[in-house]
Amino acid sequence: MCGAGQMRGWARLRDCCVLVGVAGERLLRGQRGLSPVDWPGGGVEHHRSHGEWIAVLRRHGFMVEALHELYPPDGSSSPDYYEIVLAEWASQWPAEELWVARLETVPR
């Protein structure tokens, strides 16, 4: 069977995010060596690159079957609860991703 996990599209989003407010249209920092991110008001986030995630999953016996970059439907408005990006931004760059991975069977 398949296992699915959801991770944010940080390769683009974290590099465009200001520390306060929503993501803009230009990169503010490089992807390499960005982790950890200390957010004002508290909170620290650690995010791996896509390549690092694939290596971790493979090391633990998973095969990545798909990576879906999710976009809002055309004409969507920005929900009040989503403070990181606006719908307009997310219609150009995915703020959410859905990874599908399968645990490979180990021969006995």
Give the pLDDT confidence score for residue 29 in this predicted structure: 67
pLDDT (mean) for 75-101: 89
Q: How far apart are CA 101 and CA 39, in angstroms?
A: 30
Give the pLDDT confidence score for residue 35 in this predicted structure: 72
Q: Give 46's pLDDT tier (boundaries 50, 70, 90).
A: confident
Distance from the first to the final alpha carbon of the chain: 18
Q: How many CA atoms lie within 13 A of 41 on its CB side?
A: 3
Which residue would you say has higher pLDDT here, 9 or 27? 27
Which residue would you say has higher pLDDT here, 5 or 49? 49
Give the pLDDT confidence score for residue 27 in this predicted structure: 72
Domain extent listing, the chain: 3-103
Give the CA angle between residues 9, 12, 15 to the nearest 5°: 120
- Indicate whether 2 pLDDT > 60: no
Which residue would you say has higher pLDDT here, 64 or 21? 64
Residues in Cβ contact with 78 at an 8 Å cutoff, skipping those fewer than 6 apart: 85, 86, 87, 88
Do 91 and 11 form a contact (C-beta atoms < 8 A)? no
